[in-house]
Structure formats: structure tokens, C-alpha cells
């Protein structure tokens, strides 16, 4: 077994396996030093290197060759070397470059968050808030596209697409036959199906989960509710599909399940893919084994309408607490 190698990122050191990228080394440390990533997806082979939001500065290449790398590098594609020193949030050069990258991503992507179904769980929304410039230098007309249904339950809105390729890799690697991809080249590139074919396979809904923006949305959930008005709950079921984990998040509004999604980790990546049957056809509580409330980061807007008790009270005790609270409220009103 090869010896681990040491890398220092923003003053914090970690030992990792040879072949680890700077981005994944930063994820092992965690916290604010982790570079953002819009195209990289750890579960998809070939992803990364396209959006350039994860650029970092290598101030020291290694102990053997301490010279800095001449340019900023994509942390999702650059492997660490023993003794490497990396600057991310501590480098003004990186922060300025990241601001320019965000400005580039927003050339064609409209900041129409108030009417976008992805609002509240959009990586680009967070990125533009944290690293974006206050205005754009782009003076030309934006590219515009009509909304297209690429299946009976998936809608594509190319106006919002940033060409991260995640949906293409997902369809290529977890389905039996991919029928969509990136057509044309340069500034004419767009996500589309071949000869207007519909995306129709048992795992097509996963392209919705991997999309970091509002370009691919669930038609069964569109405009039904805002995500921060819903209650996310972990649940699972025994699914017949071999590749489906059956582990999901149910998004409740009252007693109704408005949508079903795969579970995501702290970096917004799907923990395990689910089939369309679980996603679209099982929207009754009786279909699932409920595990409990989904843990939501305090920094997420979803947490504004979500809470969980650290020590749930027994049912009888809960009722007694509620009765006492109602009594106090009643007597207070009378007084």
C-alpha cells in the first residue's frame, strides 16, 4: 500500500491517498476551504474541468519541486503531490478569478430566481451570491430557447443551462441507452435530444437531481410550491429495480407528498440513484417506511420552515404539553 501524501490547503494540512485531487483533499478537511464545483460529480466518471469554478492557486508544487504552478488550476482535475501548498479562500487572485467565472456563467443564465423552480436549492444561486459581481459587462443579447418537454415528466429550459454535462454523464452511465447530449459547438452548444426523441427509461429522472441549476425540472412538481414551504422527510422502500436504492426524500406540504427526490450529501451530490417508479409513482405515505425528518444545513433557506426535536417526547407527554400550552393561552386571553 502506497504511503499517504501530505497537502496543505489554506493553512490546514491533511494526508490523503496518492491520486487524490485537490478538491477531494479539501473535502476531507471540510468547511469553507472546499472550492465550489458546478460540473464535477464524484459518482460520474469523466465529470469536472468544464465550469472552472473550482480554480485554486498552487503556491508550492511539492517538497521536491517547491516552485508554484504558473497559472490557477482546476482543483477537481489536479492531483495532489507530497508537500503541495494550495491557496483557495486565502488567495485574492483566486477570488477575483472565481468572480470572473461566475460572471461568465451568468452571461446567458438569467437571474430569474423568483420564478425558477430550483430557487432555494440552486448551486448557481449560492455561487453568484457568494462570488458573483454586482453587475455584468456583457452587452450582447442573451441566448433564448423555448421550454421543451424531453419526456412526459421532465422539462428542459435551455435558458438556464450552464453546460455542465452532468445530465449527459448520468444518462450515459446509469441508463441502457442515452438519447440526449450536447449538440453543436462553441456558443451554439445546447443540450437536446437526438431527432426530438423523448427520454424514456427507468432512471431518466436522475438527470433532474444532478442538474445544478433550473434547466431540468420535474414537471409533476413545477409551480406547485416553493421548496422552503415543504417539509423534507427521509424514507425508504424495497424497490424491485436492481440499481435503485429505494432511499429517498419525501417533500411534504401538510399530508401531501409533492415530490420525491434522491438523497443528497453536503456537496449536493446524490448519495444513490433512484428509479422513476420511486420518484414519480410512489407519492403516498403508505408506500414508504418513514425514517424521520431530513437534516438540513442551517445555511439553507429550506431550514427556515423546518425543525426537528433533539429528544422527541412520547405521544402522551406531547399531548399533555400541548394541553397545558392551550390552557395557558386560553387563560391569558380571558385576562
C-beta separation of 12 from 89 below 8 A: no
Half-sphere exposure of 59 (CA within 13 A, CB side): 15
| Cα–Cα dist 213/158, whole Å | 10
Tell me which residue range forms the domain holding 18.
Answer: 5-104
User: How many domains does the chain divide into?
Assistant: 3
CB-based contact 231:211 (threshold 8 Å): no
Q: Which residues contact 183 (CB under 8 A, 6 or more apart)?
A: 189, 190, 191, 192
Instruction: Evaluate if residue 42 carries a pLDDT over 50.
Output: yes
Q: Which three cell numbers stand for residue 328?
A: 395557558
79 and 117: one domain? Answer: no
Local structure of residue 129 (DSSP, 8 states): H
- Confidence band, pLDDT 50/70/90 cuts, at residue 262: very high
CA pair distance 215, 106, nearest whole angstrom: 13
* Domain's final residue, options 218, 237, 259: 218
Q: Which residue has the cell 408506500?
A: 287
Cα distance between residue 7 and residue 16, in whole Å: 8
- CATH code at position 49: 3.10.20.740
Domain limit, last residue, from 81, 104, 127? 104
Residue 321 covered by a domain: no
Choose the final residue of a domain: 86, 104, 122: 104
**pTM for the structure as a whole:** 0.80
What are 302-329's pLDDT values in tens digits?
Answer: 887 665 544 343 443 444 444 454 444 4
Residue-wise pLDDT tens digits, 187-216: 788 887 765 566 778 898 999 999 999 999
Reported residue count of the chain is 335
pLDDT per position as a tens digit, 163-179: 999 999 998 898 877 87
Sorted by sequence, the CB contacts under 8 Å of residue 245 that are 6+ apart come out as 236, 239, 262, 271, 272, 273, 274
The answer to whether position 86 is within a domain reads yes
- Let me know whether 211 and 137 are in one domain: yes
Q: How far is CA 69 from the centre of its chain?
A: 30
Amino acid at each position: 500500500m502506497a504511503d499517504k501524501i501530505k497537502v496543505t490547503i489554506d493553512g490546514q494540512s491533511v494526508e490523503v491517498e496518492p491520486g487524490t485531487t485537490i478538491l477531494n483533499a479539501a473535502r476531507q478537511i471540510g468547511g469553507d476551504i472546499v472550492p465550489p464545483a458546478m460540473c464535477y460529480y464524484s459518482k460520474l466518471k469523466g465529470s469536472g474541468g468544464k465550469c472552472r469554478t473550482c480554480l485554486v492557486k498552487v503556491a508550492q508544487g511539492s517538497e521536491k519541486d517547491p516552485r508554484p504552478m504558473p497559472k490557477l488550476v482546476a482543483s477537481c482535475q489536479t492531483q495532489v503531490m507530497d508537500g503541495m501548498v494550495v491557496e483557495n479562500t486565502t488567495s485574492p487572485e483566486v477570488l477575483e478569478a472565481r468572480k470572473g467565472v461566475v460572471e461568465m456563467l451568468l452571461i446567458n443564465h438569467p437571474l430569474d430566481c423568483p420564478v425558477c423552480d430550483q430557487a432555494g436549492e440552486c448551486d448557481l444561486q449560492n455561487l453568484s451570491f457568494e462570488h458573483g459581481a454586482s453587475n455584468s459587462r456583457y452587452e450582447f443579447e442573451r441566448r433564448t430557447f423555448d421550454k421543451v418537454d424531453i419526456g412526459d415528466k421532465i422539462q428542459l429550459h435551455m435558458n438556464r443551462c450552464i453546460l455542465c454535462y452532468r445530465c449527459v454523464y448520468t444518462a450515459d452511465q446509469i441508463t441502457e441507452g442515452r438519447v440526449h447530449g450536447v449538440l453543436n459547438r462553441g456558443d451554439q452548444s445546447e443540450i437536446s435530444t437526438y431527432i426530438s426523441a423523448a427520454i424514456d427509461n427507468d432512471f431518466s429522472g436522475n438527470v433532474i437531481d444532478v442538474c445544478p441549476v433550473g434547466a431540468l425540472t420535474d414537471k409533476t412538481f413545477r409551480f406547485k410550491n416553493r421548496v422552503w414551504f415543504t417539509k423534507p422527510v427521509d424514507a425508504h422502500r424495497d424497490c424491485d429495480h436492481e440499481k435503485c436504492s429505494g432511499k429517498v426524500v419525501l417533500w411534504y406540504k401538510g399530508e401531501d407528498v409533492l415530490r420525491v427526490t434522491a438523497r443528497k450529501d453536503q456537496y449536493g451530490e446524490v448519495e444513490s440513484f433512484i428509479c422513476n417508479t420511486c420518484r414519480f409513482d410512489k407519492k403516498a405515505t403508505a408506500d414508504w417506511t418513514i425514517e424521520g425528518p431530513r437534516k438540513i444545513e442551517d445555511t439553507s433557506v429550506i431550514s427556515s420552515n423546518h425543525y426537528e426535536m433533539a429528544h422527541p417526547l412520547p405521544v402522551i407527554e406531547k399531548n399533555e404539553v400541548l394541553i397545558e400550552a392551550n390552557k395557558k393561552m386560553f387563560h391569558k386571553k380571558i385576562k
